[in-house]
Amino acid sequence: MSETDLPAPPWDRNRRRPAPAKVPLTRERIVDAAFTVLDREGYDRFSMRQVALELGVAVSALYVHVANKDELFELMYNRTFDGAELPDPDPENWQEQIKEFARRGRARLRSHRDLARISMGHVPFSPELLPHVERLMAIFRSSGMPDLVAAMAGDLLSTYIEGFCLEESMWLERYRDMDEATWETKRNEIMGYFAELPPDRFPNMVAMAPYMVDESNDYRFELGVDILVRGLASYIGRASGSAGSAAP
């Protein structure tokens, strides 16, 4: 027990600095803290200052390890893929494999508040993420679809997952601090809004009001994935993809 354990005498409180962190600052620790802040504050209130505060460190210290806010977001984005694994391709079963990939993608994007906002527009071509893309492509190609379609499929699926989760998270944020009861009333308001539109001008909206709000997000997500997978499947065993007309 050296004297450094004692509190600094009041007269030189200003001269002394706080003891240097026992744990050195690293990118890993910064990313950890960043997630803590994101979960607590959300995307809009996320700031470098909050992250520094969380670590008990000056803001400028962060910039020694991280070039800027964007790079920090990219590190966070990469981090969310830790432990994500894709199975070996099984040509008989590619559709289910793709659907499972989509489900896990959604789960990943829901694992932190507003994560979808950070993910949006990130292309997963960093060295850390390439193996994931490789394995996804393996599954697509094993299905027998043309390479051009497979290349598009990856984009298409990722766009869908991210877009869906973004929209989902916006609703979640909007109703974040609402108890079950007020949320129930709010939902009825929305349903009512659609149902009570003038039926002469909005016949289709009125007819579809139940489906616009009522279906659970899980089911909607699954349906979307199914539509995509069916579209992809329609390209198997044909001439490669010109924009010809559709199905059976």
Partner DNA sequence: TTCTAGCATGAACAGTGTTCAGCAGACAAG
Partner DNA sequence: CTTGTCTGCTGAACACTGTTCATGCTAGAA
* Nearest-approach distance from CB 241 to a copy of itself, in angstroms: 6
From the list DNA, a copy of itself, none, which binds 21 (C-beta under 5 to 8 Å, kind-based)?
A: DNA
DSSP letters spanning 70-104:
HHHHHHHHHHTTTT---PPP-GGGHHHHHHHHHHH
| Region 54-93 residues binding DNA, contact defined as CB under 7 A | 56-61, 63-65, 68-70
Looking at the Cβ atoms of 54 and 114, the one nearer to a copy of itself is 114
Which helix (DSSP H) or strand (DSSP E) does residue 151 occupy?
helix 147-174
Dihedral pair phi/psi, residue 198, rounded to 5°? -60, 115
| Region 73-112 residues binding a copy of itself, contact defined as CB under 8 A | 95, 99
From the list a copy of itself, DNA, none, which binds 107 (C-beta under 5 to 8 Å, kind-based)?
A: none
User: Between the CA atoms of 68, 164, 205 and 226, what dihedral angle is there, to the nearest 10 degrees?
Assistant: 160
List the one residue from 90, 167, 184, 196 that touches a copy of itself (CB under 8 A).
Answer: 167
156 binds a copy of itself (CB under 8 A): yes
From the list DNA, a copy of itself, none, which binds 65 (C-beta under 5 to 8 Å, kind-based)?
A: DNA
Residue indicated by tokens 């959300």: 42
Cβ count within 10 A of residue 60 = 9
Q: What is the C-alpha to C-alpha distance for residues 212 and 199, in angstroms, rounded to an integer?
A: 16
231 binds a copy of itself (CB under 8 A): yes
27 binds DNA (CB under 7 A): no
120 binds a copy of itself (CB under 8 A): yes
Q: What is the C-alpha to C-alpha distance for residues 226 and 234, in angstroms, rounded to an integer?
A: 12
223 binds a copy of itself (CB under 8 A): yes
The two tokens of residue 229 are 């997978």
* Total of chain residues touching DNA, rule CB under 7 A: 25
Window of 19-27, 140-148, 162-170, 189-197 that interacts with DNA by CB under 7 A: 19-27
Q: At what angle do helices 94-109 and 147-174 cross, to 10 degrees?
A: 30
Contact 220, 226 (CB under 8 A): no
From the list DNA, a copy of itself, none, which binds 58 (C-beta under 5 to 8 Å, kind-based)?
A: DNA
Q: What's at 67, amino acid-wise?
A: A
120 binds DNA (CB under 7 A): no
Instruction: Summarize as ranges the residues that interact with DNA (CB under 7 A).
Output: 17-21, 24-25, 45-50, 56-61, 63-65, 68-70
